[in-house]
Every structure is written in structure tokens, then in C-alpha cells.
Amino acid sequence: MLSATKTNWITHGGWAVADQAVFVLTNVILNVLLARWLLPAYYGAFAVAYSVFLLIGACHAAVLIEPMLVFGSSRYASQWKAYSDLLLKGNHLLATVASLGLAVAGVCSWLIGSRALGGAFLGMATASPFILCMWLTKRSCYVNQQTQLATGQSLIYFALTLAGLLFLKGAQLISLFSAMLVVALASALAGAWVLNKLRVVGRPIQTRLDRQDVTRAHWEYGRWALMTNILLWMSTNFYLLALSIWSSLEISGHLKAITNLAFPLMQANAALSAAVLPVLVVSSSNGSEFRRVMYRAIGFFAGLGAVYGMAIGIFGAPLIQLLYRGNYDASMKVMWLLAVVPVFDGLNAVLSSTLRSLEQPSRVFLAQVVAAVCGVSFGIVATRAWAVVGAVGAMVLTGGLAVVVLALSTWKSLATDKLDDRRSRPAEKQIYCDLCRQAGIPYGKAKVYDLLSCPRCKLLWTNPLTTSEQVAPDATAYSGEEVYVSNAIAQKQRFYSQLQTFFDVCGVTDPKSLRVLEVGSGLGFFLDTCECLGIPAEGCDIAERAVQLAHEKQRRIRLGTLDDSYMAESFDAIFAFNLIEHLAHPKEFLNHAHRILKPGGALVLETPIQEGLFHRIARLGHRLSRGRLNFYGMRPSGHIYKFSKKTFAIDNGFRRIYERNIESPFREIWGNSSLFTFDNRFLYRCVLPIAWLVAKLTSQGNRLFVILRKNAQPGYDLANSFSLGGEPCR
Ligand SMILES: [Zn+2]
């Protein structure tokens, strides 16, 4: 039996494939008919104008569509109506600018005497706003899981385009401009149909949408996609433009006409590699399994490309004769060269997916840059010298280079990546505040993660929360063991004074009657301190080595974390020092603490905060360097969170009754402790001693010592040792 989600996924997947197929088919038919009916020079003009339009489309996709596919179903899902209206406005703005640009290009072409190109650009200027709108609405259907609507739209577009073109041909009205009018009309009607259908979908929950937030989010995401899309555009479309400049529009027409043969497989490669990506990601937790999946995928894509390439080599020439009625027979000699293009394209698609699944998108980008730079430089020379043959040769070279760079990167990643021993899972992304479920606003950026800040409680976190590797603690080593051991006395003194504060604030008169739990008890120094004061305390820790070491003296630490193994309302106080910032889901921790504590019980935390000198300097450095310096000491799977005093002021089932800034022990932050995870170690080491001293002198320490009290519910007797006499004393 298939689960409902799986069936749902297959249904949507099926509709999406159907949608893609119809869409690609329409484009192929449109191209074949135009190439068949128009003179090569006119078809070349269409190819040039269309490739310029595709560049606009690449930008449109990068800043509107691709971010929408990510944010539309997550960050702005509850504000879909307002969000999609805003995107439509953005679409209209971009379409207007694009249309005006194309119209100017058309008029200029006309003036310099190229009627064909003038007509093509003017036709494109008319059609482009409607095509862009259709693309956006199509992907809106995907976001709303209405893929059947998208397929419907493609069918309408297909039927109207085909009917319109056949009508024009029958009425002997076919020209570039009239054909583009048909495309404009077909896409306008198809777009309007979906817009009308989607209005009904509108979700009821509405909150105010922050326009600036949307713009910023789209730009942050889109600028990388923009560069990638432009490079991808160059790898095929650049040569059409180059040929029209070096040779003639007619030669561009030839190139477009023959590359049309490879187009369906390239579209299929893109779609299939997107489908392979999740499979690779899932298998990346197991090295040998991953390699097996990867080799199979490479074999499949290479095989598909080879078969398709062979077909082009053997049947390409007769097919060109048949499809284009002899218009492009002159270009039939490059068929075997063209046959190589699908093979490289398939390999590129699968290797890119492999690197993405290994979380190495930068290497994919690098490969594209190398390939585009070399390919285009060669292409400029080659298209001048050998026209169509040169252009196809340049495409082969670009594809081949990309394959080589991607293969080397993959090989290197697999060799350096300890794929076999990492207990991996996909990096966990989170754009919502874990505590109040508000969408985070961008705060900063590092190489592999973003910093997001909660607009409500100011909580700061890294997105993703975790990295894919090394989630389980090392069983044999305990990070910072020597530092902690050498600090034992100073550390215990700190704990002693913190316990005194806790007694004062909570009005504890008889410590011996308290039941205390320390979460993340490490080597047990806090428990030792409690023992000296006669408090029966127990601990838990997930680090096996630490538990082992602590057990050398006495068994009082449980291997594990704050979870269901503790009884409800069984502890008077829970202590957690420098722990909560490491937890992927602090809300879960707070919920457990709330459950386990007796009414009126105390949760005592120590954690790095934003209201310290250290963080302020980091913020300044970050701003002055425009994001290049990252001193925050945060990273996925490390210090994931940095709290704010405001975070603790918000009701999470607790009331804050005491807080004080304290500074980290100097040796601890200087040495090899968990805090030492900064991007710029040298600068960090220079700034650190001064910052530490000033912070100490001005009570601007980088950590907060905070006591929270479980909200007492009426009707409960408070634990004996709590008189509730301790009012907030700051
Ligand atoms: Zn929050």
C-alpha cells in the first residue's frame, strides 16, 4: 500500500511531467513550423530575438520564479494572496522594461536595415510580457500543488498556438510578427485562465506582508541563481548571437534549426536530474550506497545521451530534410558533432546533481564559469572561422570542459569527504523562530549559512540549523577536555557563586531538600559543587566520553538528554550552562523543562547573548566589512543560536526573575573550546583580549546568567523550599 503522501507526490509528479512534456512539445513544434515556413534569414532573426528574450527569462526566473518556489510554500505561505499579487507586480514591472528594451532593439534593427530582425524583436516585445506572466502563473500552480492546472495551461497554450499558426498559414498571413502575435495571444489566454482558477485557491489566513522583506529575500536568494542562469544561457545561446554578428542571420537560423534536434533531450535531462537529486541526498548517509546510486545515475544519463546522440548522427540528416523541407540541408554535415552534445549535457546534469547532493553548489558554479569562459573564448574564434561547425564545436567544448571540471570536483569531494563514516542526514533548514514561529529576517551571511533574526523575540539563529556531517558527538573524545579540566577550580568557584545567586533570588532556605538536574553536565564540576553544598543533584549528557570520565568518581550522570525519561513535576531546579545555544530546537528543551519542573520551579541558564560588548563589536565589524567579517561565533551544528534579553522577556511558560551579564573565562574562549569557531581567527585573536577586558570592566560580558521561573498555576502548592519571596532583583 502506498501512503497518502506518496500517492499525492506521484500524482503531482505525473502532472508535472505531463506539463513539461506538453510545454516542450509546443516549443519544438513552434520552432519546426517557423523553420519550415520562413526563410532561413527570418528564422535566424527569430532565433536571435528569442535568445535575447531567453536572457530576460533567465533573470525573471532567478529573481521571481526560483525564489517563489522556495518561499511561496514556506515563509510566505500564509500570506500567499498578498505575496502572489506582489510577485505579479514585479512581473509586470520586469515585463514592461523587457518589452520596451526589445521594442527599442526592434526599431534600431529596422533603422539599420534589417527588416527581419526588426520584425522579430517587435514581435518578441509584444509577446514577452504574456509569456513571462504565463511562466510565473505556471510555477504558482506548482507552489499551490495544483500541477494539474499547470498541465491544463500548457494544453491551452499548445492548442491555441498550433491552431493560430495553422490558421495563419492557411490564410497566407504567416510572418515572424504575426506568428509572435499568435504566441502572445495563446500565452495571454493560458495565463489568464490559470490566474482566474488560482483566485479560487486563495488561502484565508492573511497577515500583513512586508514588501521590503520579500524584495530582500528574493534578491538574497536570486542573485546566485542569476549568475548561474546567465552562465547557462551563454553555454548555448551566445553562439546564436555571435553567428548573427560574424556571419549572418541565415547562419544563426541554421544553427538554431539543427540544435532544435538536441533540445528535447536537454529538457528531459534537466527534469530527470532534478528527480535524481533527492535520491542522491537520501543515499548520501551511506558511502557505498551513494557511490552505487551515483554510478547508476551516471550510467543512465550517459547511456541515454549516447543513444539519443547516435539517433541524431544516423537519422539527423534525413530528419532535417523532412522537417524543414530542405531549408537547412547545408548544415547536415555537423550531425555527428552535434551528436556529442546530448552526451555531455546528460553527464553535466547528473554530475551537478551529485555535487549539489554533497552540498557543494559552489563547485557546480565554478565548473560553469570555467566552461563558459573557455567555451565562449573559443566560440568567438571558432564561429568566425567555421560558422555553424565552429559554434557546434564550441558547444561540445563547453560541455566537455564542464564535464571534466565537474568530474574532478566530484572525485575530489568523494575522496576528501568521509562519506563512509559520517552519520549524516540532510542539513536542517529553518526559516522560522523556533520559539515564536515568526519568519526570520536576514541578519547576516557566512559562506555556508545565513543568520536570521526573529522580529518578535530577537532570537538569532543559523540557517541551516545543522550541517549534514558529524551530528553525533564523538564517543572517544570530549571536546575541550584539557581546557575544562585545567579550569576545574575556577569553574567550580563560578558555579558556587551562581548557586549562591540562585539561593538568594529564589529564596532557598534549605538547599538539602532540593532536587536538582543539570542538563549537559559534562565532567560533573557543577554536580561536585552541588555536592559540597549538600544538594542532591543529578546530571545528563549526550557525550559518552564525558559521562565515562565523570563516572570514574561516581555514577550520577545519565547518558542522554532532557526527554521523556524524566517524570513530570519532579525537579525543583534545572540548570543548563552553555547548552541551549547548541540545541537545534530550544523550544523542545523549554517544553521538557516546563513539564519536569515542579510548579514555581526554576530553570537556570547561562548562554551567549547579543547584549554583550563582544557581539556589538562583531555586529560593527560585520556591517563595516559589508558582511565579510563574521565574528559572531555562530555556525550550524555549533552555536546555532544566540539569545537576546528580549527572548527571555517573552512568555515561554516561564517568567524571568533574574539576569546578569557575565564574561566567559578568558582561557576558555582563547583556547580550543567550542566557542572558537570563527571565520577570521587572526583578527579574532587580536580583538579578543581587549574586548574581553573592556567587557569585564563594563559588565558587558558576552554571556547571560538568567533565572527563569516556571509560571505557577493557581491551586498548586509550591515546593517547600521556594518561598516565592524572591522578587526580581537586578
Ligand atoms: Zn522569536
C-alpha of residue 643 to centroid of ligand 1, in Å: 10
- What does the alpha-carbon distance between residue 4 and residue 649 come to, in Å, rounded to a whole number? 42
- Rounded to the nearest angstrom, the distance between the alpha carbon of 610 and the centre of ligand 1 is 14
Domain range summary for the chain, segments of one domain joined by +: 1-203+210-247, 261-422, 481-710
Distance (Å) from CA 424 to ligand 1 centroid: 28
How far apart are the C-alpha atoms of 265 and 346, rounded to whole Å?
8
Determine the Cα–Cα distance for residues 718 and 572; give it in Å rounded to an integer. Answer: 10
CA of 227 to the centre of ligand 1 (A): 33
Integer Cα distance of 264 and 259 in angstroms = 10
Q: Which of 690, 682, 683, 688 has the alpha carbon at shortest distance from 670? A: 688
Between the CA of 431 and the centroid of ligand 1 the distance, in Å, is 11
Give the model's pLDDT for residue 316: 86
Strands 571-577 and 516-519: parallel
Residue 352 amino acid letter: S
Nearest Cα to 190, choosing from 251, 138, 128? 138
Cα 434 to averaged position of ligand 1 atoms, centre (Å): 7
Using alpha carbons, select from 641, 702, 705 the residue that is nearest to residue 454: 641
Distance (Å) from CA 588 to ligand 1 centroid: 14
pLDDT of residue 302: 93
CA of 67 from ligand 1 middle (Å) equals 23
What is the 38 CA–ligand 1 centroid distance (Å)?
Answer: 61
pLDDT of amino acid 148: 85
What pLDDT was estimated at residue 246? 82
CB 719 within 8 A of CB 601: yes
Q: What is the pLDDT of residue 99?
A: 95
In the structure, ligand 1 is a single-atom ion and the residues with CB under 5 Å from it are 433, 435-436, 454, 456-457, 459
Q: How far is the CA of 432 from the centre of ligand 1 (A)?
A: 8
Whole-number Å distance between alpha carbons of 29 and 33: 6
Q: How far is the CA of 531 from the centre of ligand 1 (A)?
A: 37
pLDDT for the residue numbered 104: 94
- How far is Cα 189 from Cα 197, in angstroms, rounded to an integer? 12
**Gyration radius of the chain over CA positions:** 32
> Cα of 455 to ligand 1 centre, how many Å?
7
Domain 481-710 is in which class? alpha beta
Quick one: which of 310, 305, 412 has its CA closest to 349? 305
pLDDT recorded at residue 510 = 85
Tell how far the Cα of 458 is from the centroid of ligand 1, in angstroms.
6
**How far apart are the CA of 1 and the centre of ligand 1, in A?**
41
H or E element at residue 453: strand 450-453
Report pTM.
Answer: 0.57
If you measure from the C-alpha of residue 646 to the centroid of ligand 1, how many angstroms do you get, rounded to a whole number?
9
User: What's the pLDDT at 53?
Assistant: 93
**Ligand 1 centre distance from Cα of residue 586 (Å):** 11
- Calculate how far, in angstroms, residue 435's C-alpha sits from the geometric centre of ligand 1: 5
Q: Give 370 Cα–ligand 1 centroid separation in angstroms.
A: 43
By CB atoms closer than 10 A (0-12, 13-18, 19+), residue 415 is: exposed
Place of cell 571565520: 679
What residues contact residue 553 under an 8 Å CB cut-off, 6+ apart? 524
pLDDT of residue 81: 82
466 C-alpha to ligand 1 centroid (Å): 19
CB atoms within 10 A of CB 446: 17
Task: Write out residues in the chain with pLDDT < 70, as ranges.
Answer: 1-10, 12-13, 74, 200-207, 278, 285, 359, 361, 416-426, 468-487, 550-555, 665-688, 712-730
Rounded to the nearest angstrom, the distance between the alpha carbon of 650 and the centre of ligand 1 is 9
The CA-based angle 191-196-202, given to 5 degrees, is: 120
| Cα distance between residue 251 and residue 246, in whole Å | 10
Q: How close is the Cα of 454 to the center of ligand 1, in Å?
A: 5
- Distance from Cα 337 to the centre of ligand 1, integer Å: 58
At a CB cut-off of 8 Å and minimum separation 6, what does 230 contact? 55, 58, 59
* 240 within 8 A of 48, measured Cβ to Cβ: yes
- What's the gap in Å between 647 CA and the centre of ligand 1? 7
The Å distance, Cα 669 to ligand 1 centre, comes to: 27
- The identity of residue 66, as a single letter, is E
CA of 462 to the centre of ligand 1 (A): 13
**Closest C-alpha among 229, 247, 230 to residue 390:** 247
Centroid of chain to Cα 440 = 14
pLDDT at 722: 44
Q: Tell me, in angstroms, the distance from the centre of ligand 1 to residue 594's CA.
A: 18
Contact criterion met (CB below 8 Å) for 105 and 121:
yes
Helical (H) or strand (E) element with 242: helix 211-246
Q: From the CA of 185, how far away is ligand 1's center (Å)?
A: 48
Span from the CA of 382 to the centroid of ligand 1 (angstroms): 58
Residue 333, number of CB atoms within 10 A of its CB: 11
How much distance in Å is there from the Cα of 442 to the middle of ligand 1? Answer: 14
SS3 423: coil
Distance, CA 452 to ligand 1 centroid (Å)? Answer: 10
Q: Which one, of 509, 657, 502, 508, lies nearest residue 575 by Cα?
A: 502
What is the model's pLDDT at position 7? Answer: 62
Q: Which of 510, 508, 511 is nearest to 529 (CA)?
A: 511
In angstroms, what is the span from residue 443 Cα to ligand 1's centroid? 14
Compute the distance from residue 211 Cα to the ligand 1 centre, in Å: 20
Tell me the CA–centroid distance for residue 457 and ligand 1, in Å.
4
439 alpha carbon – ligand 1 mean position (Å): 8
Quick one: CA dihedral 451, 456, 458, 461, positive or negative? negative
Residue 7 Cα to chain centre, angstroms: 26
| Strand, helix or coil for residue 466 | coil
Q: How confident is the model at residue 98, as a pLDDT?
A: 94
* Ligand 1 centroid from CA 451, angstroms: 14
pLDDT, tens digit (0-9, with 9 covering 90-100), for 430-489 = 888 999 888 888 888 877 788 999 999 999 999 888 876 544 444 444 555 555 566 678
The answer to whether residues 203 and 81 touch, using CB atoms and an 8 Å cutoff, is yes
Identity at 289, one-letter amino acid code:
E
All three cell numbers of 485, joined, read 579540566
pLDDT value, residue 56: 94
Question: How many angstroms separate the Cα of 33 from the Cα of each of 265, 268, 323?
Answer: 19, 22, 8
Q: How many angstroms does the Cα of residue 437 sit away from the middle of ligand 1?
A: 6
Residue (of 418, 414, 405, 412) closest to 291 by Cα position: 414
Residue recorded with cell 495571454: 188
- Give the distance (Å) from ligand 1 centre to CA of residue 449: 19
- The verdict on whether omega for the bond into residue 689 sits within 30 degrees of 0, i.e. cis, is no
